[in-house]
């Protein structure tokens, strides 16, 4: 794995404990395979009522560095049972509007002004995160989705909502996080024993020749990432890295290159796939000639007549998977959306908005079900999202 050292910086997971405490508790053993690491080590979370696991400082003052290891604060919040849990990374300040708590877009706008990035946690599978994604992806507020994690039963790699919005033509960076100490391998994944470990779900970011927090954040903003619970991945399309856009003319043949790296006794690779518009374009397995449990590779050419997003995925032993952020191929400047799924995914967005309206009409009785107190604001967001959906349908020729 040393060949990755000059270029890739790993974020080893999210921990709900202050950065200095996380540094003492976690050590560096789980990340020794990479040259450096940046962790969202302190992720204060909270709810409508309060904030928990407070961080002692933000921005540069809240980062801890020891050699090539960097621990940096982020936040998990807002968090609600009706529209999901969110994550913000890299902002210079903590952002919270208690009296406007369900206005996620306001938080995301402020985080962006403070230099950070925003997304949804838990693969948007739990706490109705897919509703919140619909409200905010379609209104242009979101940067990433945490697709790698052991919290939801669909994990560690749950791609349902990721592929939904990619297929509609939205750029979304793939991130991963441990959510220590709450999530980990165990019985729900068919394993007798399991525990929460910082780094069991992580993402790597291409930073170039130098290692710094600023270079890492620039790389994440650019989407130059892959997520993993074990294997390593390299992936390019015409030498473009994950997160980059490739502009071509109709009929162009693009060159796709992917490599997966494992270790026979600990991370034995099984297969490597090239995925485009949610479907497998090519797959190789460890038993094929020239392939092995330690190295899988694909070199292929793909003629493109219209836009497409393309990514790489690899599977190793049980619960060991990895997936890249796509390269976005645009033909003659047009969208990379998937016309085969557009109608279904547009209708799915509409159904998620109706779900939320049903919740507002029939609110839950738990203390954390506070959406009805913000009904007017949420109805405004729903209306704005419906307008955005109409514009999207028009752009995609699906009116």
288, with CB counted inside 10 A (0-12, 13-18, 19+), is: exposed
273, with CB counted inside 10 A (0-12, 13-18, 19+), is: buried
Residues 151/182, Cβ–Cβ less than 8 Å: yes
pTM for the predicted model, two decimal places: 0.91
**Per-residue pLDDT, 303:** 98
One digit per residue, the tens of pLDDT, for the chain of length 399 reads 333 444 666 665 565 554 434 443 444 333 333 334 554 445 677 888 888 878 888 999 999 888 888 888 899 999 999 999 999 999 999 999 999 999 999 999 999 999 999 999 999 999 999 999 999 999 999 999 999 999 888 879 999 999 999 999 999 999 998 887 778 777 666 766 666 777 889 999 999 888 889 999 999 999 999 999 999 999 999 999 999 999 999 999 999 999 999 999 999 999 999 999 999 999 999 999 999 999 999 999 999 999 999 999 999 998 999 999 999 999 999 999 999 999 999 999 999 999 999 999 998 888 788 999 999 999 999 999 999 999 999 999 987
**Per-residue pLDDT, 195:** 67
β-partners of residue 59 are none
Smallest Cα–Cα separation from 225: which of 171, 174, 275? 174
The contacts of residue 303 (CB under 8 Å, 6+ apart) are 251, 252, 253
**Per-residue pLDDT, 31:** 30
In 3-state terms, what secondary structure has residue 155?
Answer: coil
Number of other CB atoms surrounding residue 32 within 10 Å: 10
Helices (H), 101-159: 104-113, 129-137
Smallest Cα–Cα separation from 310: which of 331, 326, 333? 326
Residue 25 to residue 271: CA distance in whole angstroms: 35
């Amino acid at each position: 794995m040393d060949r990755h050292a000059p270029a890739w910086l790993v974020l080893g997971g999210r921990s709900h404990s202050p950065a200095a405490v996380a540094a003492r508790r976690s050590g560096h053993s789980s990340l020794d395979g990479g040259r450096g690491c940046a962790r969202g080590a302190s992720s204060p979370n909270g709810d409508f009522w309060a904030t928990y696991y407070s961080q002692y400082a933000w921005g540069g003052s809240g980062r801890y560095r020891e050699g090539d290891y960097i621990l940096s604060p982020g936040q998990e919040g807002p968090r609600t049972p009706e529209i999901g849990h969110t994550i913000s990374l890299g902002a210079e300040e903590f952002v919270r509007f208690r009296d406007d708590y369900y206005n996620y877009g306001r938080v995301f706008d402020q985080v962006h002004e403070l230099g950070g990035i925003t997304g949804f946690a838990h693969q948007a599978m739990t706490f109705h995160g897919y509703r919140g994604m619909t409200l905010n992806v379609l209104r242009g507020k979101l940067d990433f989705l945490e697709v790698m994690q052991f919290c939801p039963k669909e994990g560690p790699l749950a791609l349902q909502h990721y592929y939904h919005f990619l297929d509609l033509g939205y750029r979304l960076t793939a991130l991963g996080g441990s959510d220590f100490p709450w999530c980990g391998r165990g019985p729900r994944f068919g394993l007798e024993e399991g525990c929460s470990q910082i780094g069991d779900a992580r993402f790597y970011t291409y930073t170039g020749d130098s290692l710094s927090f600023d270079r890492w954040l620039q790389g994440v903003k650019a989407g130059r990432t892959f997520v993993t619970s074990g294997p390593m991945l390299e992936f390019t399309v015409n030498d473009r890295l994950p997160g980059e856009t490739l502009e071509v003319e109709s009929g162009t043949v693009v060159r796709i290159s992917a490599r997966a790296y494992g270790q026979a006794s600990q991370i034995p690779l099984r297969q490597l796939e090239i995925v485009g518009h949610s479907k497998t374009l090519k797959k190789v397995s460890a038993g094929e000639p020239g392939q092995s449990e330690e190295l899988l590779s694909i070199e292929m050419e793909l003629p493109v007549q219209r836009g497409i997003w393309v990514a790489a995925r690899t599977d190793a032993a049980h619960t060991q998977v990895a997936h890249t952020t796509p390269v976005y191929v645009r033909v003659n400047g047009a969208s990379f959306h998937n016309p085969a799924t557009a109608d279904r995914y547009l209708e799915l967005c509409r159904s998620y908005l109706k779900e939320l309206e049903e919740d507002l009409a029939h609110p839950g009785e738990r203390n954390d079900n506070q959406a009805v107190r913000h009904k007017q604001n949420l109805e405004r967001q729903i209306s704005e999202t419906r307008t955005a959906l109409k514009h999207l349908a028009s752009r995609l020729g699906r009116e």
